[in-house]
Structure 1
Amino acid sequence: MTLQWTAVAFFLYAEIAVNLILCIPFISAKRWRSVFNLRIWNWLSPYWNKCFFTMIMVLIVLFLDALREVQKYSGPQPMQDANVNPTVYDHVHMKLFRSQRNLYISGFSLFLWLIMRRVVTLLNQVAVTLETTAGLQAQMDSAVKASKQHQEDNLTLKQALLDEEKSMFAKNQQLKLEVEKLTHQVKAAEDAVHKSHAEVEAMKRQAKGLAHEYDRLLTEHHQLQNLQSAEDKKDQ
């Protein structure tokens, strides 16, 4: 195996190891997010995209080169030469095997390189989603607690209003009774006033009649006195 394909093979093994580590179930997405937020990754982030696309281009070139080699050694001309010469046959099949191996190595390396980036992105998204969900859950719990508190306050207020209504109703009934009692008393007082007015009128009429009778008697008395005086004068 040449140096470049040895490097690609080691790169493939490293990708497999990294993907397996990323897929370990007992390491949570939050833990991976804390790892991805280390300072070294922040320092490497400006070069990450360049490195990623560079590796894609290199792997694509190697994949196309391996594909070309496979097509080269699986064509009809090498097979005809291999059928003629047994030594060439072994050489052609060895080259075909190596080109197919290199094709698989470069293809899987490219595939796992894309998968690894996607897995890292998904882990970050899952961690952000979990943090957002935790925040929303805390807000929802706070809202539920506040809602329960408001419901309890509303029930307390309704009970207080109901008690106040009952108290006001009782006071209104008592006031109605007092108003009715006062109405009866006012009516009785009005009747008494009317009766007093009637008695006063009767007494006025009686006093007026007595005054007329007194005047009449006084007039008769004067007349009698005058008559008596006249008679006394005649007797002298």
Structure 2
Amino acid sequence: MSLQWTLIAGFLYLEIVIVLLLVLPIASPRRWNTFFKSRFLQGIQQQAGIYFVVLLAVLVLFLLDAIREMRKYSSPEVTDHQHLDAEMQGNMRLFRAQRNFYISGFALFLCLVIRRLVTLISQQASLLAQSEAAMRQAQSASTAAKTLLAQTGASNDNESNEAQDKELQVSTLRKKITELEDKLKSESKDKHAVKEQAENITKEYDRLLEEHSKLQKKLLASGDSDKKAD
């Protein structure tokens, strides 16, 4: 294997290891995102796009060269007096071209896969952070709502207690007013009865005075007649 294809094969093996590290649950998306946003990677981030395009162009060139070699050795000119060594050499070159095609093709494919995995892991980490922030906001909102409901319930209880106290006071006052009205009615009735009794006593007293005066007159009249008789 020539030097360039050895380098491409080594790059392919490195890509396989990177894909396994990204796919297997070795680290959480947060840690991967923290690693992606490290100072070293942030320093080469500006040139990363250029490096990626250059790498893709190199892999595409090697892939096209492998395809050319495959087409070149896949249909060799067959002659009647072709030597066996030449045929074996052609088959070997065809095998190398196919091997180089698979190496460059898989290297190109895994390069795109790694880029996509990095993007998805970063998005997943940001979504996890947003979901946690939303959960915290929801928990704080639910806590505030529970506190507000508790305060509202307490105020409602206080208002209901105050309303009950007011109702009790009103009912007590009504009872007192009713009792006072009853007492007033009874006292007014007693007053009327006493008044009537006083009027009756006055009338009886007047009648007795009249009878007394009549008796005195009779006694005086009888006394005078006795004096005359004497």
- How far apart are 1:179 and its partner, in Å? 3.9
1:4 matched residue in structure 2: 4
1:24 matched residue in structure 2: 24
| Residue 167 (structure 1) aligned to one of 165, 168, 174 | 165
Contact 1:15 1:109 in 2 (8 A): yes
Mapping 1:117-196, distance limit 5 Å: 117-181=115-179
Does the residue aligned with 2:118 lie in a helix, a strand or coil? Answer: helix
Give the whole-Å Cα distance in 2 for the aligned partners of 1:48 and 1:81. Answer: 52
Contact 1:29 1:124 in 2 (8 A): yes
Distance 1:28 1:176, change over 3 A: same
1:115 matched residue in structure 2: 113
Establish whether residue 74 from structure 1 lines up as the match of residue 74 from structure 2.
Answer: yes
- How far apart are 1:26 and its partner, in Å? 2.9
**2:47 maps to amino acid:** Y
| Residue 90 (structure 2) aligned to one of 75, 89, 92 | 92
Judge which range, 124-133 or 38-47, deviates more. 124-133
1:208 matched residue in structure 2: none
Contact 1:82 1:89 in 2 (8 A): no
Give the whole-Å Cα distance in 2 for the aligned partners of 1:98 and 1:158. Answer: 87
Distance 1:79 1:187, change over 3 A: farther
Does the residue aligned with 2:24 lie in a helix, a strand or coil? Answer: coil
- How far apart are 1:189 and its partner, in Å? 9.1
- How far apart are 1:151 and its partner, in Å? 2.3
Q: How does the TM-score come out when normalised to structure 1?
A: 0.73
Of all paired residues, the percent bearing the same amino acid is 34
Give the whole-Å Cα distance in 1 for the aligned partners of 2:188 and 2:64. Answer: 123
**1:68 maps to amino acid:** R
Judge which range, 27-36 or 94-103, deviates more. 27-36
**1:110 maps to amino acid:** L
Contact 1:79 1:89 in 2 (8 A): no
Give the whole-Å Cα distance in 2 for the aligned partners of 1:56 and 1:137. Answer: 41
1:219 matched residue in structure 2: none
Distance 1:25 1:2, change over 3 A: same
Q: How many residues align?
A: 199
Give the whole-Å Cα distance in 1 for the aligned partners of 2:147 and 2:171. Answer: 36
1:63 matched residue in structure 2: 63
Give the whole-Å Cα distance in 2 for the aligned partners of 1:66 and 1:88. Answer: 20
Does the residue aligned with 1:84 lie in a helix, a strand or coil? Answer: coil
- How far apart are 1:176 and its partner, in Å? 2.3
**1:155 maps to amino acid:** G
* Unaligned 5+ runs, structure 2: 193-230
Give the whole-Å Cα distance in 1 for the aligned partners of 2:22 and 2:80. Answer: 46
- How far apart are 1:12 and its partner, in Å? 0.7
Give the whole-Å Cα distance in 2 for the aligned partners of 1:185 and 1:60. Answer: 115
Give the whole-Å Cα distance in 2 for the aligned partners of 1:177 and 1:44. Answer: 91
- The one-character-per-residue Cα deviations of 1:137-180 (angstroms, maximum 9, x if unpaired) are 21122122222222222222222222112111111212323444
Distance 1:22 1:83, change over 3 A: farther
**1:29 maps to amino acid:** P
- The one-character-per-residue Cα deviations of 1:108-127 (angstroms, maximum 9, x if unpaired) are 00000001111111111111
- How far apart are 1:41 and its partner, in Å? 0.9
**1:137 maps to amino acid:** M
CA RMSD of aligned residues (A): 2.9
Give the whole-Å Cα distance in 2 for the aligned partners of 1:45 and 1:83. Answer: 60
